[in-house]
Structure 1
Amino acid sequence: MKKTHEKQWYILRTVSGKENQVKYYIENEIQHLGIKENIGKVLVPVKKIIQIRNGKKIKKEKIYYPGYVLIETCLKSQVEQTLKNIPGVISFLSEKKGGHPIPMRKYEVNRMFGIVNELSERNASVSFIRGEKVKIIDGTFVGFSGTIEKIHEEKVSLSVLIFGRKTPLYLSLTQIEKII
């Protein structure tokens, strides 16, 4: 495989749970060794989720690909060795064990950034399906149960039985929860 001097995206395998620590170490090594021209972005893809605990909304970030860090770099031997020696790094993703790192293909990078951008814009990662029974946990109709009729991007249309009549309600995804 021929080496190029243009930056490409590579995947580093890391100890799961240490992704942000690896990113921090890489950024420090870039400054310390003066190899900024060889390394571009270092990315740990996350998705933003909203959890409801005791009736309060809590925003959290969850790592989308546990055990992996994406790095844009011009992979020279010094840079490769430096990255492999960072605490928490297992290896580069390659075709065979101990083989030369393989850069991500252009369509993989585009798909990855499409996913990352989509996840950063989304507020909640809760999946509901049409016909599912849910309980209203926030708003005027707290405690009522209903059936999902339609699912929109950030809202759902529910059919709720109020005073013996089916009534349509439009609520955000954070105002409902699945009935278990």
Structure 2
Amino acid sequence: MAEAGEKQWYVLHTYSGYENKVKENLESRAQSMGMEDYIFRAVVPEEEETKMKNGKEKKEMEKTFPGYVLVEMVMTDESWFIVRNTPGVTGFVGSHGSGSKPAPLLPEEIDNILSQFGMSAQNQPSDFEVGETVKITDGAFTDTTGKITEIDDEHRKLKVDVDMFGRMTSAEVDFTSVEKQK
């Protein structure tokens, strides 16, 4: 194994239309080749768009950067080889060919891109726990307390069960919209 550096974000060029397949392939290859400590996340930037089809509104996920996939990885000879030889990947953006390793995205670049999709580059796990009681400080359920039922670290959201008029209702809130209760 090559010496592990720090994990950084890189941009992969893919065949257009294969972005989600590349993401799946990367994730399964990282697992099957024991590279989970080197290849972390693959992200296909997309946003929901509403289109009219046969006079009806239809929501579809549109790729924001068609032909590109973001990958968070530690760049070693081995991880670089595995990623660039993943089916559907045509190469790294920022690589000058002839075996030169690509330049990673700058922290502010990846923060800017991911924040547009409600994600964070600093994917540190939250310090919340399922079953913990929190008070909601923002949004429709402000000043309501409830129990955490689900934690989504990637999108930095919580599902919290709150009591509304004697019935349990599930609310989805951002990490920043709650405070822990003693």
TM-score range (shorter-chain normalised) is: 0.5 to 0.7
SS at match of 1:36: coil
The answer to whether residue 45 in structure 2 is matched with residue 52 in structure 1 is no
Within 1, Cα distance between the matches of 2:4 and 2:108?
Answer: 19
Residue 63 of structure 1, CA deviation: 0.7
SS at match of 2:37: helix
The answer to whether residue 33 in structure 2 is matched with residue 15 in structure 1 is no
Alignment correspondent of 2:94:
94
Alignment correspondent of 1:109:
110
Partners of 2:92 and 2:102 within 8 A in 1: yes
Q: Which has the larger Rg?
A: 1
Higher helix share: 1
Within 1, Cα distance between the matches of 2:105 and 2:114?
Answer: 12
SS at match of 1:48: strand
SS at match of 2:65: coil
Letter in 1 for 2:92: F
Residue 39 of structure 1, CA deviation: 1.4
Alignment correspondent of 1:6:
6
Alignment correspondent of 1:129:
none
SS at match of 1:5: coil
Alignment correspondent of 1:63:
63
SS at match of 1:10: strand
Within 2, Cα distance between the matches of 1:95 and 1:81?
Answer: 13
Within 2, Cα distance between the matches of 1:50 and 1:107?
Answer: 29
Alignment correspondent of 2:27:
27
Q: Which residues of structure 2 form unaligned runs of 5+?
A: 120-182
Within 2, Cα distance between the matches of 1:116 and 1:71?
Answer: 15
Structure 1 consecutive aligned stretches of length 4 or more whose deviation exceeds 6 Å:
none
Partners of 2:96 and 2:102 within 8 A in 1: no
Within 2, Cα distance between the matches of 1:53 and 1:96?
Answer: 43
Alignment correspondent of 1:141:
none
Letter in 2 for 1:30: A
Q: CA RMSD for the aligned pairs?
A: 1.8
Q: Which residues of structure 1 form unaligned runs of 5+?
A: 119-180
Within 2, Cα distance between the matches of 1:110 and 1:23?
Answer: 20
Within 2, Cα distance between the matches of 1:95 and 1:52?
Answer: 40
Within 1, Cα distance between the matches of 2:86 and 2:113?
Answer: 24
Task: Return the TM-score normalized by structure 2.
Answer: 0.59
Residue 56 of structure 1, CA deviation: 2.0
